[in-house]
Amino acid sequence: MENEIQPHGIYTTEETQKLLKISPSTMKRLLKKGLIQANKIGRQYRILGKEILRLVSPQIERKAEKHYAMLKKKMIKTINKW
C-alpha cells in the first residue's frame, strides 16, 4: 500500500485506519456519524480516496467551522426571540 492517498482509489476500513492513524472504534464512529462516506459491500465497507482526502483537508475543515458558527448564531437568535 502506498502512503499517498489516491483520490480515485478504493480503500477498506483497515487501510483507511492506517492512513488516518486512528483506532477501529474511531473509524466506526466516523462511519456511524456519517463524517466519512462509505459504501457497504456485503459485510464490509469500501471508502473512496476522495472521501479520506475530504476528511483531512484543512480547507474543508475551515469551511465546516464557518458554517457551524453561522448556524450557531442563527440558533441563538431564534432562541432569544422566544
Please compute, for residue 18, the number of CA atoms within 13 A of its CA located in the half-sphere on the CB side: 9
**All structural domains of the chain with their residue ranges:** 10-81
Query: What's the predicted TM-score (pTM) here?
Result: 0.64
**Residue closest to 30 by CA, chosen among 13, 42, 15:** 13
7-36 pLDDT, tens digit per residue, is 889 999 999 999 999 999 999 999 999 889
**Position 60 confidence tier, pLDDT thresholds 50, 70, 90:** low
Cα angle 33, 34, 37 (rounded to 5 degrees) comes to 150
**Residue closest to 50 by CA, chosen among 6, 2, 1:** 6
